[in-house]
């Protein structure tokens, strides 16, 4: 934990700020480049552009960390499952085939991800020394949901498939764990300082299956990171009061709370970790006064503790960048 504290906080009195999806559609300079690059995966694999986009929010706002511009679905892509992003609909993956999945090998996986590592190297060179560079992976559960097409709609999963495929999921999880650890190791080797594990759909798992589908796979990755002295932040979005069990069992260096978690509850129940995030991204669509009041709520709750200011989920495309600027200035002065 102390390692993460030093890296993310830059010894700034236990304070640090960055935002999930800080590089993205709410920035006009992002939209300009994006409009010239319609294929999202190819866009992510353009190292020069990826690095440039990673640095856009750093240039605009006084943020403490950059997060590399890529996507969690770059891993299924690198495992030879075609990934497309359909406008206004989201990602669409080619039908999953376990034989093809198991045919993958480490060398071709790394080769396909090499542009991400190049982007990290370029970014590290151009990022001020005192700022940290965050890289990330999707947790096995969240990747699985996309890979096997288990999602019915925004907030529902076809859990029957999951129950039927117990053995197959175990095989997929084992392989995914290996590949995710390889991707983590290479991102760190390229110059990233911290890893964040996004388990965006953890909240869709029935509580009696959390252990098998969320805790264990996150634990394995966190153990790998600890063994290799890699600071790691987990984000098991949507698991409500189970955040406490998650934190006690997995013991990550940092944990990102979502906006359904009360900051005072988090302070009482999430011990021996750096807490990050929480603010509902929709708050940024409100007036300055409402923004400041809500930011204050988090800063007051975590006063004196190592707390990384961030959101409870990614920045919304309709966010006005000026509001972000105001928030950061308010945060610095508070
Ligand atoms: O700035 C950053 O946070 C770094 C880059 C980043 C992206 N995706 C870029 C992106 C990160 C960390 C992610 C993670 C990611 N990707 C997650 C986990 C976090 C979360 O949001 O829950 C998930 C589930 C994905 C999968 C994904 N990628 C979806 C569902 C979508 C479409 C929906 C959407 O938000 O547009 C994407 C596309 C995507 N990834 C965009 C960006 C900037 C938007 C691309 C565009 O259309 O211009």
User: Closest residue (by CA) to atom 8 of ligand 1?
Assistant: 71
Q: Is the pLDDT of residue 11 over 70?
A: no
User: Closest residue (by CA) to atom 5 of ligand 1?
Assistant: 69
List the structure tokens of 155.
Answer: 């907030």
User: Closest residue (by CA) to atom 2 of ligand 1?
Assistant: 21
Q: Is the pLDDT of residue 184 over 70?
A: yes
Give the distance (Å) from ligand 1 centre to CA of residue 252: 23
Question: Who has greater pLDDT, 158 or 256?
Answer: 256
Q: Is the pLDDT of residue 10 over 70?
A: no
**pLDDT for position 104:** 98
Give the distance (Å) from ligand 1 centre to CA of residue 171: 26
Query: Which atom of ligand 1 sits closest to the CA of residue 22?
Result: 1
Distance CA(247)–CA(136), nearest Å, equals 19
Give the distance (Å) from ligand 1 centre to CA of residue 315: 10
- The mean per-residue pLDDT over the stretch 100-124 comes to 98
User: Closest residue (by CA) to atom 17 of ligand 1?
Assistant: 72
Name residues whose C-beta falls within 8 Å of residue 9's C-beta, 6 or more positions apart in sequence: 15, 16, 64, 306, 308
Active site residues: 21, 25, 34, 71, 146
Q: Is the pLDDT of residue 213 over 70?
A: yes
Average pLDDT score, the chain = 96
Please, which pLDDT band fits residue 2 given cuts at 50, 70 and 90? low
The residues spanned by each domain of the chain are: 2-333
Find where tokens 């994006």 sit: 34
What digits encode the pLDDT tens for the residues 70-99? 999 999 999 999 999 998 888 999 999 999
Q: Is the pLDDT of residue 41 over 60?
A: yes
**pLDDT for position 318:** 98
Whole-structure pTM value: 0.97
Distance CA(262)–CA(281), nearest Å, equals 15
Q: Is the pLDDT of residue 137 over 70?
A: yes
Domain 2-333 has CATH 1.20.1250.20: no
Mutation test of ligand 1: which of 23, 36, 72, 192 has the most ligand atoms closer than 8 Å to its C-beta?
Answer: 72
Give the distance (Å) from ligand 1 centre to CA of residue 72: 8
**pLDDT for position 62:** 87
User: Closest residue (by CA) to atom 24 of ligand 1?
Assistant: 200
Other beta carbons within 10 Å of 248: 13
Pocket of ligand 1 from Cβ distances under 6 Å: 20-25, 34, 40, 67, 69-73, 85, 90-91, 136, 198, 200, 314
């Amino acid at each position: 934990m102390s390692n993460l504290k030093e890296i993310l906080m830059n010894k700034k009195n236990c304070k640090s700020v960055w935002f999930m999806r800080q590089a993205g559609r709410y920035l006009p300079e992002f939209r300009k480049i994006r409009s010239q690059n319609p294929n999202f995966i190819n866009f992510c694999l353009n190292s020069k552009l990826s690095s440039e986009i990673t640095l856009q929010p750093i240039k605009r706002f006084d943020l403490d960390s950059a997060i590399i511009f890529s996507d969690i679905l770059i891993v299924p892509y690198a495992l030879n499952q075609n990934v497309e992003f359909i406008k206004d609909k989201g990602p669409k993956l080619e039908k999953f085939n376990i034989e093809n999945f198991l045919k993958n090998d480490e060398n071709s996986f790394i080769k396909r991800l090499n542009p991400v590592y190049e982007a990290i190297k370029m970014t590290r060179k151009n990022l001020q020394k005192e700022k940290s560079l965050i890289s990330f992976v999707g947790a096995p559960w969240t990747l699985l949901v996309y890979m096997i097409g288990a999602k019915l709609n925004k907030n529902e999963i076809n859990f029957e498939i999951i129950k039927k495929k117990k053995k197959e999921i175990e095989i997929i999880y084992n392989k995914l764990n290996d590949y995710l650890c390889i991707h983590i190791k290479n991102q760190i080797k390229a110059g990233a300082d911290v890893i964040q594990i996004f388990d965006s759909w953890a909240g869709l798992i029935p509580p009696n299956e959390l252990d098998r589908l969320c805790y264990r796979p996150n634990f394995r990755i966190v153990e790998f990171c600890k063994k290799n002295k890699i600071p790691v932040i987990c984000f098991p979005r949507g698991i409500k009061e189970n955040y406490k069990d998650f934190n006690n069992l997995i013991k990550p260096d940092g944990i990102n709370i979502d906006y359904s978690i009360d900051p005072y509850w988090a302070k009482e129940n999430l011990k021996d970790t750096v807490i990050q995030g929480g603010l509902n991204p929709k708050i940024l669509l409100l007036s300055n006064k409402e923004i400041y009041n809500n930011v204050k709520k988090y800063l007051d709750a975590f006063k004196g503790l190592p707390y990384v200011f961030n959101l409870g989920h990614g920045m919304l495309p309709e966010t006005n960048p000026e509001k972000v600027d105001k928030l950061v200035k308010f945060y610095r002065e508070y």
